Structure 1
């Protein structure tokens, strides 16, 4: 079991890890912010979603989700379709163009990491990835996440 001193050091390292995310974001095309990539990724992983379900997956406020979805819709990355089982709701889905943007963004992020980890042994990269997944799991993030998706029609 980790003691408080180890946990304090880990907290320090995690704060510093934001530099990694900032560098990845900096090297993305300006029209593809990481927030947009997160939305596209969720739709790719989970398929059609209502905005409320996407909000739960992203763990953000509905207004934030709406803003990010509007950004993706304007660019043709996301489409809204009527929910055939609830006329008040819209289903969000990834378009082919959105899939292309997601793949290009994933490739770019991998390139950025590869540039910075070029001198790391493959086993170290794999171990770090596994440990980060374990850490996320300890906080309740068991990706792929399964929200309480209100799929009345999913059966």
Structure 2
């Protein structure tokens, strides 16, 4: 089992991922902020769904989800159709324009990662992908995570990036 010092170092390194994620988010086109991109990605990955399911998958409040959905719907990237099973609900699905926007977002992300990781070997990129997938799997459903009382002992402010 890893030592406390190793977990402390890991916590510091993970805070740096937030900075990387924010940096990639700043590269998103002005018309598609991160929340909108997440809606498109989830609908592409999981298919059509109700807004309540989307809110679950985004792990945000329904009011936040509603704003994201309105933004992408106003741009024609998703369709909101009445749910045949419950006319009060809407089924959300990607439109062809939404698929095109998502393809653009993916292409931009690949270009950015290729730029920043240009000096990494294929094996190193594969190893990072495998370890990040394993880390995500280890956490399971983060929405149901136990409350840790001493978590502040292991983290730094997210505005600082360790060397």
Structure 2 distance, partners of 1:117, 1:85, is 47
State the shift of 1:141 in Å.
Answer: 5.0
Q: Deviations over 1:82-119 (max 9, x none)?
A: 00111111101111101111111011011111100000
Structure 2 distance, partners of 1:11, 1:136, is 14
Structure 2 residue 148 is matched with structure 1 residue 132: no
Q: Which residue of 1 aligns with 2:26?
A: 26
Structure 2 residue 74 is matched with structure 1 residue 74: yes
Structure 2 counterparts to residues 25-104 of structure 1, below 5 A: 25-104=25-104
Structure 2 gaps of 5+ residues are 143-163
Q: What TM-score results when the alignment is normalised by the length of structure 1?
A: 0.88
Q: Deviations over 1:124-152 (max 9, x none)?
A: 0110011011101111059xxxxxxxxxx
Q: May I ask how many residue pairs the two structures share in their alignment? A: 142
1:141–1:72 CA distance, 2 compared to 1 (3 A): same
CA-based RMSD? 1.3
Structure 2 residue 119 is matched with structure 1 residue 119: yes
Structure 1 gaps of 5+ residues are 143-155
Q: Which residue of 1 aligns with 2:157?
A: none
- Of structures 1 and 2, the one scoring higher in RCO (CA 8 A, sep 6+) is 2
Q: What TM-score results when the alignment is normalised by the length of structure 2?
A: 0.83
Q: Deviations over 1:30-59 (max 9, x none)?
A: 112122111101111111110000011111
